[in-house]
Structure 1
Amino acid sequence: MDLMAKGIVLLCLSVLLNAFGNALTVKAALGSAPWTAAGLNLSDMLGITVGNALIIIGFITLIADDLLRRRWNRMKDVYNFIYVLSFGYVIDGWLFVMQRVTVNGLFLRIVVCVIGVMCIGAALSIYFRVNLVLHPFDDLLKILRDNYLHGDVVLAQRIALAIPLSVGLTMGIVRHHLIGINLGTAISFLFMGYFILLFDKTIHLHLDRKWTFGFHRMDRVHSVKHP
């Protein structure tokens, strides 16, 4: 298979797996990954689907990314927003498929929640190595790491995840109805990096070279000029 075609197939697979994992954490009702938790609270507040809430948050984050980057890249923004749309709609699709599924009992809910977080970790492992597009949530982490925190990925991740956690907590406190922030959020926050490393070692993609759509080259040049 052509490498670019293989990359696109793997990217689509990672979207499906990521959305599936997030849908599992929603069904387990024991807390979701921070961005999804923020989406759940926004969804409940506005009366819209979780996917549409994540699309709204993703679009706002996309604008924030460009402001933090201090420059605009229309092509990159278009591709990233297409990713935002597909991710949101696929989550809604999985939740629609799972609407008749019930997860009862604390032990089963914990198992489903952990499996969901691990699915997200596997999807992110694939997605980061394919390196075709970035969801604005992940682009935010990259911008913070490269442009503001001198390459400190741990601090960048904590700040990037603290933003949706703060948003979700604020909406929950104001409305006296907090959802989506629980055990699964803590597992995601504390162990997602380890899950990604695990799947980096166990899922072999056999990618012989890197490819780009063009805008990644511009980012690398920019980062060289402004270390």
Structure 2
Amino acid sequence: MTPFTPIPESPSLWRNRSRWNVARFWNWTLRRRLHEFIAKQNQRELAPVFTAAGAQVTKEAGSSLPHTAVTEGQLKTLLAAVAASNSIDAPIVEIGSFRGVTTKALAAATQRTVVAVDPYLGEGGHEKDFALFREHTGGMTNVRHVRDVSDSAFTSWNGEPVSLVFIDAIHEYLHAWYDFAAWGSLVAPSGFVAFHDVDAFPGVNRVCQRVLKECPQWKPWAYAPNIAIFQRCD
């Protein structure tokens, strides 16, 4: 499937180099910081834009859930997209699965395969989180875990289309934009891309603003506080 948006260079190209590497500093560290500064200065509320576009907008985030930052209201909004994409016979991909709460909810709501991508290292979590992921998703035959970073997992993907992508990994702009451009290129017509932490993290907020401005093939579909969902409409 030809991507609508050019896929940027892999974050791992620079991230895996020594932090003392001069090229890494100039091409990655400074660029990351600049983009985060710009994102922070230009953060905007997304609800008015989604409302104006006729999307489903929920005002309440709902109660918190254990072992996840996703709330009841956000999960309900996400599962509505799962239901709306049930006619697409293609996997769901979750970028950043943490302790498996949303993975379990996604898998319980459909017979499609849910591919959970999370390396369980660094910012994303460690072995105790991976153990809880296995505990929450154990016995679910339609869950497949890929223990890898997003860009490496995408490079290894077989090109199969997907029905929904839920992006909830590294919340910086460069990472979130890569996740959208790369994994979003696999989404089948009428499928969805969902972003978590769109209000809490300026980088993710900026990605959503860019999608709204530059990607007419993605229409605003649903919003609840801190989650935004786009549908491929071509």
Query: Considering the TM-score relative to the shorter chain, is it more than 0.5?
Result: no
Higher relative contact order (CA 8 A, sep 6+): 1
Larger helix proportion of the pair: 1
Q: TM-score, normalised by structure 1?
A: 0.29
Larger strand proportion of the pair: 2
